[in-house]
């Protein structure tokens, strides 16, 4: 036992040595940028990362999710753009009709595949690599603010190798009708790489927009996506933030979103996790002013031996805010789901109204769900409810469908999709909703083929 632990520690240590060598190589290639303020942030983040190392299951935040497989692989951080032979045809299935589009290949911006021309002229949208190069000074404050708290090892690692991603600023009084889709493609590759995009999205007061983050693995290879999206919502701004994740089933995906909300702002997050062998989503919302509303929805589909972990945290820092949370998981085969929903209500955050629900559908006897609400309430005049339920498909419902001529597998699929339906229906972008519905439905079929479940025979 001791030996094994020691060995693992050694491998994690070795892995940090690996990133150290990569960081040095990165710095050597930087030339002039080394003296820019952003590089001080990188250095600081790398120092924190190398001091703390990767988290282990002994840390409360990572209790159910052992990330040691990630520490056993030497992922090569992607620092330069390569097209990798990817063309528009490769993304066709995932593009959302009518949306403006920024496309990234292995974390680096692809000008050729992107099209943001149809957005209103006053909207600033660009890629970070380019923005840093131009160094106009407008973006620096945003970068400073976002990168200042790399307490999480993966966020620190992302900051250390900060290179590219989306920078978007929606100015005051602007309503963007078209959704903005950010597509992150992972290409096939002979070596394992780390794609680490960093996205910074700011919506100024009285403005509204809808964004979609789409993560796609184009092949079945092993790589790491370690992505961080930082969002700042000013007074009375609205953002619908959708995320569809269909990475390679051999890939790792760590996705962090940090959202700061100002007064009367409104944030909705819809997260669909389908791909990846090991997935961790962190969503941290800070409701930093009065009368804001946030809604967090999630749907997880686990097959094979996938591990999909959703950690959400809503910090009710000020009074009169409401939060609504609905996370659902559908777990087949030997997949495992984790949900940890933290709700903090600060001492002065009176009249907080927080609701949280976590529901899981287990499609196999070997699938496992770990769910944990974590309420930390310091105010007294609040309304907080939470509930967790884990169940299976209902035999009587299955029989009802079969009694009408619907086959067993189709009956299971229909009921499973119905379970997922209320989360899918939260998407207000119609073409995206259809797309997600189709992808979810198709993966149900796939999961069935892969999954050796005992069929009910009559």
Partner 1 sequence: MSLLEIKKLHAAVNGKEILHGINLEVNEGEIHAIMGPNGSGKSTLAGVLAGRDIYSVTEGQVLYRGKDLLQMSPEERAREGLFLAFQYPLEIPGVNNSYFLKSALNAVRKHNGLDELDAMDFLHLLKQKTKIIGMDESFLNRPVNEGFSGGEKKRNEIFHMAVLEPKLSVLDETDSGLDIDALKSVSEGVNRLRSKENSTIVVTHYQRLLNYIVPDFVHVLVDGVIVKSGNKDLALKLEELGYDWVRENVQQTV
- Candidates 5-13, 42-50, 223-231, 407-415: pick the segment binding partner 1 (CB under 8 A): 407-415
Distance from the first to the final alpha carbon of the chain = 47
Q: Which of residues 35, 403, 449, 454 is near partner 1 by CB under 8 A? A: 403
Q: Please identify, using beta-carbon distances, which residue of 135 and 394 lies nearer to partner 1.
A: 394
Q: What angle do CA 43, 44, 49 make, to 5 degrees?
A: 95
Per CB under 8 A, contacts with partner 1 among 168-187 are none
Q: Does 418 bind partner 1 (CB under 8 A)?
A: yes
Q: Does 89 bind partner 1 (CB under 8 A)?
A: no
Asked if 100 and 180 count as a contact pair (C-beta separation under 8 A), the reply is yes
Give the distance, in angstroms, between the CA of residue 447 and the centroid of all CA atoms in the same chain: 22
User: How far is Cα 347 from Cα 345, in angstroms, rounded to an integer?
Assistant: 7
Q: Does 454 bind partner 1 (CB under 8 A)?
A: no
User: How far is Cα 206 from Cα 433, in angstroms, rounded to an integer?
Assistant: 26
User: How far is Cα 428 from Cα 297, in angstroms, rounded to an integer?
Assistant: 13
Q: Does 357 bind partner 1 (CB under 8 A)?
A: no
Q: Does 408 bind partner 1 (CB under 8 A)?
A: yes
Q: Which of residues 18, 142, 399, 434 is near partner 1 by CB under 8 A? A: 399
Q: Does 419 bind partner 1 (CB under 8 A)?
A: yes
Picking from 309, 315, 323, 239, the residue whose alpha carbon sits closest to that of residue 279 is 309
Which two three-digit tokens encode residue 65? 């999710």
Asked if 323 and 355 count as a contact pair (C-beta separation under 8 A), the reply is yes
Q: Which contiguous run of DSSP H or E holds residue 87? A: none
Strand partners of residue 111: none
**Strand, coil or helix: what is 8?**
helix
Q: Does 149 bind partner 1 (CB under 8 A)?
A: no
- Candidates 91-99, 116-124, 323-331, 418-426: pick the segment binding partner 1 (CB under 8 A): 418-426
Q: Does 137 bind partner 1 (CB under 8 A)?
A: no
User: How far is Cα 111 from Cα 348, in angstroms, rounded to an integer?
Assistant: 47
Per CB under 8 A, contacts with partner 1 among 420-449 are 421-422
Q: Which of residues 140, 397, 446, 451 is near partner 1 by CB under 8 A? A: 397
Picking from 268, 201, 249, the residue whose alpha carbon sits closest to that of residue 228 is 201
Q: Which of residues 417, 434, 446, 451 is near partner 1 by CB under 8 A? A: 417
Q: Does 379 bind partner 1 (CB under 8 A)?
A: no
Q: Please identify, using beta-carbon distances, which residue of 56 and 397 lies nearer to partner 1.
A: 397
Q: Does 407 bind partner 1 (CB under 8 A)?
A: yes
Q: Does 92 bind partner 1 (CB under 8 A)?
A: no
Q: For residue 102, how many C-alpha atoms fall within 13 Å in the half-sphere facing its CB?
A: 22
Q: Phi and psi for 30 in degrees, rounded to 5?
A: -80, -30
- Shortest distance, CB of residue 456 to partner 1, whole angstroms? 7
Which two three-digit tokens encode residue 384? 């907080």
- Candidates 181-189, 232-240, 377-385, 396-404: pick the segment binding partner 1 (CB under 8 A): 396-404
* 39 contact partners, CB below 8 Å, separation of at least 6: 27, 30, 33
Per CB under 8 A, contacts with partner 1 among 247-276 are none
Using CB atoms within 10 Å of the CB of residue 424, give its burial: 0 to 12 exposed, 13 to 18 middle, 19+ buried. Answer: buried
Q: Which of residues 406, 443, 446, 453 is near partner 1 by CB under 8 A? A: 406
- Shortest distance, CB of residue 401 to partner 1, whole angstroms? 7
- Shortest distance, CB of residue 457 to partner 1, whole angstroms? 8
Q: Which of residues 43, 342, 351, 402 is near partner 1 by CB under 8 A? A: 402
> Which residues form the interface with partner 1 (CB under 8 A)?
395-397, 399-408, 410-411, 414-415, 417-419, 421-422, 456, 458
């Amino acid at each position: 036992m001791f030996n094994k632990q020691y060995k693992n520690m050694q491998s994690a240590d070795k892995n940090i040595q690996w990133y150290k060598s990569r960081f040095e190589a990165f710095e050597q290639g930087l030339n002039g940028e080394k003296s820019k303020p952003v590089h001080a942030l990188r250095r600081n983040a790398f120092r924190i990362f190398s001091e703390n190392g990767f988290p282990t299951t002994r840390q409360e935040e990572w209790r159910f999710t052992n990330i040691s497989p990630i520490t056993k692989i030497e992922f090569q951080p992607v620092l330069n753009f390569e097209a990798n032979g990817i063309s528009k045809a490769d993304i066709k299935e995932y593009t959302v009709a009518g949306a403006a589009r920024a496309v990234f290949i292995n974390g680096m911006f692809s000008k050729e595949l992107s099209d943001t021309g149809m957005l209103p002229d006053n909207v600033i949208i660009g890629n970070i690599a380019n923005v840093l190069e131009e160094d106009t000074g407008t973006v620096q404050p945003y970068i400073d603010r976002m990168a200042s708290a790399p307490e999480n090892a993966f966020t620190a690692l992302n900051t250390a190798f900060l290179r590219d991603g989306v920078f978007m600023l929606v100015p005051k009084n602007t309503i963007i009708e078209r959704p903005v889709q950010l597509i992150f493609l992972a290409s096939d590759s002979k070596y394992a790489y780390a794609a680490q995009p960093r996205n910074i999205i700011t919506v100024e007061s009285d403005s509204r927009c809808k964004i979609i983050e789409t993560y796609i693995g184009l092949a079945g290879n092993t790589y790491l996506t370690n992505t961080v999206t930082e969002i700042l919502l000013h007074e009375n701004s609205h953002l619908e933030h959708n995320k569809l994740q269909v990475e390679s089933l051999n890939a790792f995906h760590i996705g962090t979103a940090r959202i700061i909300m100002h007064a009367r702002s409104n944030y909705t997050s819809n997260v669909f996790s389908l791909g990846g062998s090991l997935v961790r989503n962190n969503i941290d919302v800070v409701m930093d002013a009065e009368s804001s509303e946030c809604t967090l929805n999630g749907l997880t589909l686990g097959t094979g031996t996938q591990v999909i972990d959703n950690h959400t945290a809503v910090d009710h820092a000020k009074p009169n805010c409401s939060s609504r949370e609905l996370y659902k998981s559908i777990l087949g085969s030997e997949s495992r789901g984790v949900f940890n929903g933290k709700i903090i209500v600060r001492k002065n955050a009176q009249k907080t109204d927080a609701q949280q629900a976590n529901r899981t559908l287990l499609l196999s006897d070997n699938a496992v769900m770990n769910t944990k609400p974590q309420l930390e309430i310091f105010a007294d005049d609040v309304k907080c409810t939470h509930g967790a339920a884990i169940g299976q498909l209902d035999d009587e419902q299955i029989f009802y469908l079969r009694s009408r001529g619907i086959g067993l597998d189709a009956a299971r699929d229909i009921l499973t999709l119905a379970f997922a339906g209320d989360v899918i229906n939260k998407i207000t972008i119609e073409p995206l909703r259809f797309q997600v519905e189709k992808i979810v439905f198709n993966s149900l079929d796939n999961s069935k083929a892969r999954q050796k479940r005992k069929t009910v025979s009559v």
